[in-house]
Amino acid sequence: MTDTADEITARFDPETLTFNEAGLVPAIAQDHKTSEVLMLAWMNAESIARTLETGRVTYWSRSRQAFWIKGETSGNVQELVDLRIDCDRDCLLVLVRQTGPACHTGRRSCFYTGVREGREHELMTPLV
C-alpha cells in the first residue's frame, strides 16, 4: 500500500465529526484561489450534507435557528470547491468560490479589523 496524498481512506460520514453541545462544528470559509480567510460560521450534520449535495455552502444560523444558504438573499454566493476536516475532526475548512463580499457589512472578509499596538484598525472598507 502506498501513502499518497490522494488516497481515499473512508466514505465521509458527518456523524464522525466532533460537534459541540449544540450539534455544531465551526467552519472557516476560505477563498480557494487566494487562500484569504473570508468568514467563520457554524454547520451541523444536515448543513454539511446539503452543502455536499448542492455545491452551495449552507450554514446553520445560531441566531435564527435555521439553515442559511450563503448568498440566498444577498447574491453573495459561496460555491463549494473543497471541504476539509482538521486533524481533531472538530473544525471544517470550506474552500469556496466567493461571489461579492463574504461579510454582511459589505466587506470582502469578516476579518477586517486588525489590532496593532493595542489599537483597532479598520483594514478594509465595504465593497458596496
Pick out the residues of the known binding site for Zn(2+). Answer: 87, 103, 110
CB 24 within 8 A of CB 14: no
Cα within 13 Å of Cα(118), Cβ side: 0
Cα within 13 Å of Cα(49), Cβ side: 7
CB 44 within 8 A of CB 50: no
Q: How many CB atoms are located within 10 Å of the residue 40 CB?
A: 14
Per the annotation, where are the binding residues for Mg(2+)? 86, 88, 90
Per the annotation, where are the binding residues? 86-88, 90, 103, 110
